[in-house]
Chains A and B, each alone.
Chain A
């Protein structure tokens, strides 16, 4: 083989590699651009709340005391749900939320690392002792959704789950204290 064709081959391979690198760069930029675009225009972001609390005393007083758990509608109409994730249950075991309204979910754990997701939604977070996990979302369809613990937390992990009852907005009626319990079915 003469020197000329070998050089031509190398140039062609180099050209192909550069073209490939450029194409992959464009793909990565397009995907990152799409993620940033949806984050800015549709408010879709990874939950990133950093808020500390004492896991040893969270159940005694303050936000996660027993009488504050569950769904509550504030004076401004905002819906907030507070849940404790503990071995091996969520407290409360059922939460009611309205469809089509912004909801703030707040979770805390007194013992070990837990995690949760709500099936059919993008709600998915870890619950780390010492921190409040907060997720903002809006439920788009009614029905009972399963909320299991998805971080192995001990022998009873598989029994740790709760129900999210998504009800139409006109059936979502808070009592005088602004609390909304699950409907008995």
Chain B
């Protein structure tokens, strides 16, 4: 999988977006916008970066459905489980559940929890088990309001956890407004830098940039990739719209959304 070309990853991401939209339409479920902003990153992580010994923690638990779609796409989530998404009796609720799926190590959903868990895993692997295992952790930009993100950042930098990579899905929107209006986070890359991370800032929908960021050589510090993304990426009427954090799709909107992502297949634009 490590030899996968970027064009193949783009095709993976398109398939995952289709799968993801279908899931949400059939389940009549919200959180559509947030999934579309992180699918390219997930496609890269599962399509290229993650080795069997490595772990991925979705700290932004509201992105669960995009993770389910990604896991299913790459054969890491069985059809019979995947088909139950959002239904009574499922192991696939709107935020990842504890001990439900072998591919998802930790339940998340209350923001600011995944990153300390990822830091603990990184510490244990590097300093106690003495392995080469790596940990990737995806946080949202709004999640960076949580103090635990920065507690964990201090911890990771202090312990030189260069086996940890934190990706910030910086789509500029949070629960009830734009991040710049609710709680300004900028300059986000220099904040992470100041906390002791080596930092990359990329367009989170451009696989060449994603790949370059993940492949940059380490220098002993943990790595933070600030991925500038678009909430609702690929579906024009959802892009950068707060309401698509919450709304389910009608039949017409679903059909239109499928059309849009098909048309935007080669578009890398939008990362701010």
Same complex for A and B? Answer no
Which residues of A pack against B, CB within 8 Å?
none
Which residues of B pack against A, CB within 8 Å?
none
